[in-house]
Amino acid sequence: MQPPGKVDLADAKAQAERLGGESAESLIAWAYDTFAPHVALSCSFGGPGGLVLAHMAYRLKRPIPVVFVDTQFLFPETYALKERLEREWGLAVRTVATRLTPLQQASRYGVALWQRDPDLCCQIRKVEPMAEVLHGLSCWVTSLRRDQGESRKGVEVVEIHRLPGGAEMLKLNPLAHWRKQEVWAYVERHHVPYNPLVDAGYKSIGCIQCTAKAGTSGERSGRWQGSQKTECGLHTFTLRET
C-alpha cells in the first residue's frame, strides 16, 4: 500500500541506506527534504535521544513536526521541558493523547490499571494515539538505539514497517548505532537542555506510576519495575518488513 506522501519506500530505503554511514544530521535533513510534510519525529521529553534529534532538526532549519504522546500521567518536569523547547527552539510540537481521561479510564477499567495490566494501559494511553498519527505519515524518525537493551539490539538505521491495516512507512533511527556516551557528548557539546530527573537518578523517564530510579542493570531498568515488561508498545505494534 502506497504511503501518504506517494514516495516509493523501496527507493527511499535504498537512498537512506547509502546515507547510513554519514552523520545523523544528514539523515535528518534527507528525511525532511524527501518526505515533508509527511514526516515527523517522536520525542518524549524524557530521555536525551529525542532531544538530540529535535535539536539537529532545529540547527538544520528543517522544521520537522515533533510528536509528543501525552499520557496525562507524566512528570511535571517533562511537561516543563516540552514547553521550554517549544518557546526557545520554536518546535512544532504535535501533542496527541487518548480521548479517555484518567477518571474515565478508572471508571471503565478500575483504578491503577497500570499495576494490574500495564500493557493495556500503554495500549490505551500511548499506542492508540500514536497509531492515529502514523497513519498520516510516510516517515517516522525515532531515537531508538541498539545499546538501550535486549529488545532493541537489532534496530537498524532505516527500516520499512507495516501498520495495522496494511499501510507502510519508513522508520528512520539515525542514532541506532550511537552509544549512550555519544548521545550525552552531543548534549554537552551543544548545551541541549534535558530533563532534570536524569540528574536525580532516573535513566528512562515515562509515566510517574511506572518510572523509578534505576540501578546499574541497564538504561531502561527503572521502567515497570517488578514486571517483565520492557517496552510500552510504541515500537512493537508495527511489523518490520525484511
Residues designated as active site: 232
Between the two ends of the chain, the Cα-to-Cα distance in Å is 16
- Select from 196, 195, 178 the least CA-distant residue to 186: 178
Residue 177 CB: number of other CB atoms within 10 A? 16
